[in-house]
Amino acid sequence: MAITPLLMIKVLLAASMVLGLARIAERVGPEWAGLLSGAPLGVALVLFFYGIEQGVEYAAAAAFFALFGLMAALVFAYLFVILVPHNKGSAPWPLIGALAGYGAAAALLLQLLQLLGVSLVGGTHGKVPGLPLVLPIAMVAAALALGVGLILRRQPVSRFGSARLSRRQQGIRAVVAALLVVMITALAHCLTPAAAGVLAGFPLVLFALMLVLQWHHGSGPVAAVVSHFPFGMGSLILYTLTVTLTYPTWGLIAGTAVSMLVALLYLVLLGLWRHKRTHR
């Protein structure tokens, strides 16, 4: 793969997001790091570069299917939180189990899409599909409500220690996010928007952040971060939904800007609500 200006932009943006979230986690705690991990950082990068490389129509269709992919991302988060209390020692078994769960959930979703008559390989162009938009919204909303209920019953409470990552350690793990963005957007060249969209739902920024924090703090504090991830996912859902609706008519730049504003508004309102709730 040739090193192009576009490739360098992908790497720098993804790495900056991971390092910024890791710093937030260590400075202000797991809650806000988890909430901000639910912001549309990784998916915004992926869908934006889909639009640049494959066209706006492709990116809009992929955003529709990314709503399905978010369900697999929720499985990833839920499994990690559930598995951490059963982990004895410092081995990253919860992370491995969560990745396996994500893979299984994504495979099931792709199989479901095939049963619905959606093509997954063999092309790079496609209009927003004929499936009703309410279908993925209802499915991901149900999964979110169910999972939040499960997490509230076992939400871990943990803080980070005083240790800080070295620049070398931060750099290695920031590269993970950059590589994931490059790999996912590269796969789009041989996938239809459906398969590429499901891949776009992978929580790549959260995953890379977990690697950063796992190294120095262990699974307990990381689980505290991940347990807040679903509460911030409303912004991610709103972002992908808005992209689906705005990209075809408003274009890549305006559609991205409006979608990001909608997502940020959700996070601001969520922050105000949580602040009011904790200061009663």
Q: Do residues 152 and 78 touch, judged by C-beta distance below 8 A?
A: no
pLDDT of residue 31: 67
Backbone angles phi, psi at 129, to 5 degrees: -65, 165
Residue 122 has pLDDT above 80, yes or no: no
What are the structure tokens assigned to 30, written together?
A: 């797991």
Residue 124 has pLDDT above 50, yes or no: no
- pLDDT (tens digit, 9 = 90+) per residue, 53-87? 889 999 999 999 999 999 999 899 888 888 887 77
Q: Do residues 139 and 71 touch, judged by C-beta distance below 8 A?
A: yes
Higher pLDDT, 18 or 15: 15
**Model pTM score:** 0.83
Residue 129 has pLDDT above 60, yes or no: no
pLDDT band at 37 (very low <50, low <70, confident <90, very high): confident
Can you tell me the distance from the alpha carbon of 149 to that of 155, in angstroms, rounded to the nearest whole number? 10
- pLDDT (tens digit, 9 = 90+) per residue, 191-238? 888 889 999 999 887 887 787 777 666 677 777 778 778 888 888 899
154 alpha-carbon distance from chain centroid: 22
- The mean pLDDT value for 100-105 works out to 94
User: What does the mean pLDDT of the chain come to?
Assistant: 79
pLDDT of residue 162: 44
Residue 277, classed as helix, strand or coil, is helix
Give, in order, the Cα–Cα distances in Å from 243 to each of 101, 120, 240, 250: 27, 21, 5, 10
Can you tell me the distance from the alpha carbon of 10 to that of 60, in angstroms, rounded to the nearest whole number? 19
